[in-house]
Chain A
Amino acid sequence: MVAEGVLEIDRLSKRYGSVLALDEVSFELGVGELFGFVGPNGAGKTSTMRIVLGVLAADGGAVRWGGEPITFAMRRRFGYMPEERGLYPSMGVTEQLVYLAELHGMRAPAARAAAAHWLERLGLGDRGGEQLQKLSQGNQQRVQLAAALLYSPDVLVLDEPFSGLDPVAVDVMSAVLREQADAGISVLFSSHQLELVEQLCDRVGIIRAGRMLAVGSVAELRAGSAPRYWVDAPDAPAGWVAWVPGATLIRQEGSRVLVELATPAGDQSLLQVALTTGPVREFRRDLPSLTELFRSVITEEPGMSVATPGRVTEKAAR
């Protein structure tokens, strides 16, 4: 039994002509979870999101929400921000927000109130009467976000919401996404800004060439990679790292070395060997950033996934 409100993406497949765009893509989006979807261009992020929103039909697999196959009516509870921004350029900002809210089943008065609320919240309170095309790129993007949030969706699907934003707008966008997730809304978004994803997301999915390579929290992804340590033993002779079983020298910066260990337990012998050479000024675990994890996952041969894709429990602790 899948908990209420959990969005399951179950073995989605999609083929464009001879190109297999999605190859049994699976992951889950828990209630109130902020999920970052990362991968190189053309990896299948947009296709997956379009299938979730029903604007693209999958060749195989299923999308379920709360354990039930997703329907057209359910999708009206989803907010969507497409990769290619799409609104009417010559239509008024408030007017088109009200229109989109009504198309999602809201009545006009509620739609107007929601449009006013979100324009205010996103710092566009006084721009509602203007044509969209008169707004700057960043402000148009805020309107686009407002269009996705307007009708208080239960699930938000945002394709590259941060692209093209200035640092201030990035902060506003991050704050809004965090706030939405904290209010119990499930948020799925794709991005190439990996530091941002690392800092913002509860869980991350890495996709390449239509295959999910890794799914999990950043900590879980790290658990799958070999541990690395920075060691500063100034009196140690060159090549001392080779004395440690299972240790590989990755980099040397002056007297500091970056060492990769074959097993997590190897850290104790690394420290002992270092101490035998004299004083140890630094001994620090080097936690790989998402960017590094991403690189290592992406450059591996297909099929050699770091973490097993598939079911990872919904975020219950938060």
Chain B
Amino acid sequence: MSSAVPDRSALSPRRAVYLIARRELLTRIRGKVFVIGTVVAVALIAVYALLQLLVIDRINTTTTFKVGFSGPATVLAQPVEAASPALGFKVHVSEIATDAQGRSDVRAGSLDALVDGTPGAPQVVVKTGIDPTLQAALASLAKQHMLSTDLSAAGLSPATVESQLNAVALRIDTLQPATAAQLQGPIIGFVMAFALYIFIGIYGGVIGQGVVAEKASRVVEILLSTVRPGQLLLGKVVGIGLVGLIQLGIIALCGLLFTVPTGVLALPGAAIGAVLIGVMWFVLGFILYALMLAATASLVSRVEEVSSATVPVTMLLVVTWLLAYVVAIPAIDAVTGGGAAPHGLATLTTVLSLIPPFTPVLMSIRMAAGEVPLWEGLLAILLVLGSIAGVTWLGARIYANSVLRFGARIRIRDALRR
């Protein structure tokens, strides 16, 4: 017997975190909750894609306007029919013998519109109102007809004039070409930020419950006799985070498989950079919030109390989302729309996005829009990494001080005390 530390009790901190994370991953991925949750989510996406397909088909078949022409305006019928495919709707034209007959057809609903009057001053009769695209098309065709008539009257061939007109091309020099990523970036950033928000909501809850379940089953007492609180905390966050990422990956992959071939969603190839930046903020943001959720959850002893114990953290998340919606998105919209951001909004966004709890959501939106200088992005990453280290330390302390105190909820001030 020797009190010297033998080799086999060597457990590196990394291996401890690995073992804990592996257990979380393996036991949860085989669990009913994970399997059923994933299957349901994939099924919902499939149903959504299917519905989209059906709705799109219906829209395509229903946008046919039945337009009747009578009197001199009948000369417009041919051009309207010819122009309709380019306008994105179908027109079914018919010649109506008399004006009165046409009006009664419109009233009866067998015609969507009746065009009479002269080609130069057409009069459109509709029942309740006219579709704006149809109105614009009719107006422009009437103008074009008028122009042709005038050109002919002046002895010019309308066909010649048209070909000359078509030859006039506008040369555009773009000083700052908008890339596909820049146009899709804000949308992708917004989607990623929203996904992060939802993800933290769901998997942060899972972590909180996992912490309290371990506390309630008292397994934590055995665990803490061999691993340090910080290692246990980190292992849980990494393990459960991976479970979430795997689930999200499966769902996203199935989503793409269902939607891209059916044309419901176009895969924005040029937006991969924005997606990668989003994924990075996703991971950092999740770790930061999950650590805070785990530490606050350890203050209570029953699973039912988790949501009330974690209120400060979930409120922070909601505030972040409000800031994104109220401050960051309008500012970015203004800038990418070519205008200047409203006074002070841009500065406010920049400052807010460098405050760690807000950074992951706000930065994923800002960086996806491509308006963040490199140094600012790097600074934001450093600040978040630093706060993750700080939260791990602080969280481990709260955790260590409260995880073995059962019963009533522990005040955070007491938990921070030695």
Contact = CB atoms under 8 A, between A and B. Distances in A.
A264 interface: no
A85 interface: yes
B23 A54 contact: no
A74 B6 CA distance: 9
Interface string B2-35: 1101101111000010011001000100000000
B11 A80 contact: no
Contact of A74 (B3, B217, B221, B406): B3
B11 A76 contact: yes
A5 B3 contact: yes
B5 A74 contact: yes
B226 A104 contact: yes
A103 B226 CA distance: 7
Interface in B209-247: 217-228
A128 interface: no
Contact of A55 (B9, B11, B27, B224): B224
Contacts of A56: 404
A67 B3 CA distance: 9
Interface in A146-201: 147, 151, 154, 184
Nearest to A102: B19
A96 to B, nearest CB: 8
B215 to A, nearest CB: 9
A50 interface: yes
A74 to B, nearest CB: 6
Contacts of B169: none
A65 B3 contact: yes
B343 interface: no
Interface residues of A, number: 44
Nearest to A52: B225
A4 interface: yes
Interface in A84-143: 84-91, 99-100, 102-107, 110
Contacts of B8: 105-107, 110, 151
B1 A55 contact: no
A31 B303 CA distance: 42
Interface of A: 4-5, 31, 50, 53-57, 65-68, 71-78, 80, 82, 84-91, 99-100, 102-107, 110, 147, 151, 154, 184
Interface of B: 1-3, 5-6, 8-11, 16, 19-20, 23, 27, 217-228, 404, 406, 418
17 contacts: A5-B1, A5-B3, A74-B3, A76-B9, A80-B225, A84-B218, A85-B218, A87-B219, A88-B217, A100-B222, A100-B226, A103-B19, A104-B226, A105-B8, A105-B10, A151-B8, A184-B1
Query: Can you list the 5 inter-chain pairs with the closest CB atoms, starting with the nearest?
Result: A66-B3, A86-B218, A76-B9, A86-B219, A84-B218
